[in-house]
Amino acid sequence: MRSSYLAYAMSVIVSRALPDVRDGLKPVHRRILYAMRESGFTADKPYRKSARAVGDVMGKYHPHGDSSIYDAMVRMAQHWSMRVKLIDGQGNFGSVDGDSPAAMRYTEARLAKASSFLLDDIERDTVDFQPNYDESENEPKVLPAVFPNLLVNGAAGIAVGMATNIPTHNPGEVIDATLAMIANPAIELDELMQIIPGPDFPTGGIIMGRSGIRRAYETGRGSIPVRARAEIEEIRKDRQAIIITEIPYQVNKATLQEKIADLVRSKEIEGISDIRDESDRSGMRVVIELKRDATPDVVLNQLYRFTQLQTSFSANMLALDDGKPRTMGLKDILEAFLRFREEVILRRARFDLNKARDRGHLLVGLVLAVANIDEVIALIRAAPDAATARESLMAREWDASEVVPLLELIHDEGNVIIDGKVRLTEAQARGILELRLQRLTGLEREKIQGELGEVAQKIGELLAIIESRPRRMEVMREELLAARAEVATPRVTEISDALGDQTDESLIEPGQMVVTITRDGFIKRTPLEVFRSQNRGGRGRTASGRRGDDIIVRSFNAHTHQWVMFFSSGGKAYRMKVWHLPEAAPTAKGRALVNLLPELGTDSITAVLPLPQDEELWEDLHLAFATASGNVRRNRLSDFRNIRASGLIAMKLDEGDSLIGVATCREGQDVFLATKNARCIRFQITDETLRVFAGRGSTGVRGIRLGEGDAVISLCILNHVDASVEERAAYLRMANAKRRAENAALDDSAEDETVSGDEETVEITGDLTQERFEELEQQEEILLTVTDGGFGRRSSAYDYRVSGRGGQGITNMTFSANRRGKEVVGTLPTLDGTDVMLVTDTGRLIRLPVSQVRVMSRQASGVTLFRLNDTETVICVFPVLEDDTEEGDTDEGSEAGAKVIGEAGASEAAPEAPAAGDDAAPDA
């Protein structure tokens, strides 16, 4: 078995699966080309039936089935498989979609012009021949290729225990590199790669990076990433499409489209609405139409990642060198070809030299016969037959004076000269006997002399080729240049230095986005710059198109590269990057969340939390949960680092309860809860007040005790400041006095403010020192409270005392009887220089600077922030965390906003009298 298997293995390796480094062909391809040349199916002849060529190959040289021969023949005729076609086919020879070719009885073929550069001079003893399988014919062991076909057309094959996969290259570049090696045999690989930068596949595409090419050219093995050529076009208004014009080498276009369709159906790739193939005779064109809210660059990157639009060509440059399999780099292949080609030129020169000498030798005999024509004729006439005449001519001694210089001219040693006499050889005697009478004329005698001179010149050139290696290299160079003129074509595969492995996120331009979620579960993101700042009291602009009676219930702004956690009414957590959310215009309704979170089911999203971009901060952060019933819980943020696509249990909820907020926090900070009935509580985060829960399945502990009909609407995390009640009261008095002095110019809006009595009276025993005041001022946080009637005010966080967890809290705001709105919609911390956005139930939105809202007592009813319609209410308020905005607005809200501000003094009702004991009354 060992000997039988080894014999079989060597047969497969040497005689079937691996190409020869010299001509770049496997035996079956070599036999097809040689048989078609022998049968006269050349490029200058008409097409012949493919079945006839296959029959000749099978009957004479290739003892295998006709299908293997025809398949190899078909591949050599496919322009998407070969960089330079070797067979010129007529008929159906398959397609890049993987369609089978027509049967060989229906197609016709002949050799392509490029094949002549592989077959020329094969009859001039340039290569060795061997008997065919039944020793009835001889076949060449290799073809005398003029150019390195192994590199130009590549090869692929699987032998026993080894395989080869050589990429195709640009023929002009390969020949140029061969010429460079002729000029400088010691050329370095880097210099060669300046000429051959990389493979050139017949289907085009883009090679990503050069490291894989370098390894393949240096060691013979390397992975070369190739991606399709794609462009993003706008095919109609608001609709874009990805247009594929080139695909990687050896990729089936039809299978590729089927794979894309499967990925779209399984929702692994989203954003594709249609796929169609518009390819025709002018070229390839696959149109992948996108949905309106899809990001083209992201969809294209996903196609590169999940489909064969990007593949890796695993180069394994294994070929037969001197009959042995060898893995070779670029320089090794070119050196092996140059050695072979030099041998071909040398053998051809020797063959031609022998032919020229034979012709010269014959011409010397003719010159001698013409010079002695009378005597030659007499000898011939006297001879009874041709054999006697030949012997008589050979036996006669002739005067050598006329032929001696000719013999020296052609370097002929066939005639022996003795004592000035010469005898004719048998070849010369036969030539004289075959001489036609017309050659005896004077003109013909001159032609013989001229031909003899040409032969002499040719012999001299051939001797120079044989004796001089530089001359052989010069001949090789001339032939390579002639081949280049015929086979060179422009490069079709681009080589890009850009990295091929790009994340989807890297394709998204960084920026701030406004994310809006509606009651019916539609979500979208809109660039923040769309909403420019307006003045307090403006009319705003439309923030979202509504679907029926759908309304916006939640809005926030976040960076495109931030993670956003979604918490559902069922207590599950989901996670998604902001850029993955659908981008839409301010008036668009967005996309259903259930399509982004398939596992959401019938649940609704009740809380949304943008997470810090720097994930290293997650280790030190906790999550604080708050429910509408007043329960709170604390967990480590790292507990939610790995969230499956199907979601993760975040918190167990009581019947009828829901999450209203989730925020990041640290040990020692304060939790601030605000209710819709204007109550609030603030307590510090410690292990005693709010411990870290180990699991995610509990309902938490009580944060605030609610009154009847009340519910928690806001969760904030505030920094804890160690200050006594007296220090806080003293600071508020000093801060109010400072603000009155700084904001005297705003007193004309004081009629918008109303205050009422305070719940606690603090006896002030003395003022703060300047150093202590400045210390507290630096740590001060300002809270903005907004009502559903469009009113709001800012208050110092020092106005909210720190108490224990679970109490009834204190008053957050006093509602005025003559104003719309009886509920608080949000309380949140704000920073000077930033903006806030207010959203109404009709989808209108206004963005205004918080600096336009004065700081007042926590019980003041506030000023007008948003001018509402009669049936309109504010449902959401959220901060804008960047200040790169333009003043004014060019859309419908700007003029209306300015008009309202101008009329504010006349239209607002007179302020209510402040309640007794309200320390903020002077501010109002």
Question: Known catalytic residues?
Answer: 106
Dist CA 911 CA 161 (whole Å): 94
User: CA-CA distance, 653 to 160, in Å (whole number)?
Assistant: 65
Q: Phi and psi for 485 in degrees, rounded to 5?
A: -60, -25
Helix or strand (DSSP H, E) at 376? helix 373-382
Query: Are the beta carbons of 83 and 119 closer than 8 angstroms?
Result: no
- Joined tokens for residue 758: 């305070």
CA 613 vs CA 441, 517, 560, 561: distances in Å: 103, 21, 10, 7
Q: Which residue spans within 628-771 are E strands per DSSP?
A: 631-636, 648-649, 659-665, 670-675, 679-684, 701-702, 712-718
How many C-beta atoms lie closer than 10 Å to residue 43's C-beta?
A: 12
Q: Measure CA 155 to chain center.
A: 26
Tokens of 597: 């979170």
3-state secondary structure 305-345: HHCCCEEEEEEECEEEECCEEEECCHHHHHHHHHHHHHHHH
Written as six digits, the tokens of 329 are 């780099």
Whether 361 and 428 have beta carbons less than 8 Å apart is answered as yes
**CA atoms of 590 and 597, how far apart (whole Å):** 14
Nearest to 18 by CA among 338, 250, 316, 344: 316
Name residue 157's beta-bridge partners: 164
The position carrying tokens 């904030």 is 716
Assess contact for 897 and 538: CB atoms under 8 A: yes
With H, G, I as helix, E, B as strand and everything else as coil, classify residue 759.
coil
Cα–Cα dist 330/316, whole Å:
11
Cβ burial 501-516 (10 Å sphere, 16+ → b, else e) = eeebeeebeeebbbbb
Which residue bears the tokens 């009580």? Answer: 702
Q: Closest by alpha carbon to 339, among 169, 180, 185, 482?
A: 185
State the chain's maximal CA–CA distance in angstroms: 161
Is residue 716 within 8 Å of residue 703, measured between CB atoms? no
CA distance 711 to 501: 50
**Do residues 198 and 207 touch, judged by C-beta distance below 8 A?**
yes
CA distance 599 to 608: 17
**What whole-number distance in Å separates Cα of residue 630 and Cα of residue 337?**
84
Q: Are 216 and 317 in contact (CB under 8 A)?
A: yes
CB distance 448 to 363 below 8 Å: yes
Q: Which two tokens stand for residue 171?
A: 């023929």
Report the Cα 747 to chain-centroid distance in Å.
Answer: 60
Residue with structure tokens 């609610």? Answer: 706
Beta strands 206-208 and 494-496: pairing type?
parallel
Half-sphere exposure of residue 651: CA atoms within 13 angstroms, side-chain side: 30
